[in-house]
Amino acid sequence: MLKIMLKACSVTVAVVAVSQVVSFATRYAAGQPFTLFVFLMNSILPVLTAFPAGLYVFWQTARLKRALAELRELHVKLEAKANRDQMTGFLNREAFFEQFKMARRWTDTGALALIDADHFKKINDTYGHLVGDEALKLIAGAIDRTTRELDIVGRIGGEEFCVFLPAASRDDAVQIAERIRIEVERLVFQPDDGKHYPLTISIGVALTRGHHLTSQLMRQADRCLYDAKGRGRNTVVVEDALAEMAERKTSETG
pLDDT tens digits for 134-191?
A: 999 999 999 999 999 999 999 999 999 999 999 999 999 999 999 999 999 999 999 8
Q: Is the pLDDT of residue 210 over 90?
A: no
End-to-end Cα separation, the chain, in angstroms: 87
User: Using an 8 Å Cβ cutoff, are 131 and 191 in contact?
Assistant: yes
Beta strands at 201-208 and 110-117: parallel, antiparallel or unpaired: antiparallel
Spell out where the chain has E strands.
110-117, 152-155, 160-166, 201-208, 236-238
Catalytic residue among 73, 94, 159, 183: 159
Catalytic site includes residue 94 = no
Return the minimum-mean-pLDDT range out of 36-40, 85-89, 130-134. Answer: 36-40
* pLDDT per position as a tens digit, 119-128: 999 999 999 9
Tell me which H or E stretch contains 30. helix 2-30
Burial class (CB in 10 A: 0-12, 13-18, 19+), 98: middle
pTM: 0.67
Which among 115, 147, 110, 137 has a CA at the least distance from the CA of 235? 115
| 237 contacts: CB under 8 Å, gap ≥ 6 | 202, 203, 204, 205, 224, 225, 227, 228, 231
Architecture of the 93-253 domain? 2-Layer Sandwich (3.30)
Q: What is the CA radius of gyration of the chain?
A: 34
Q: How many residues does the chain have?
A: 254
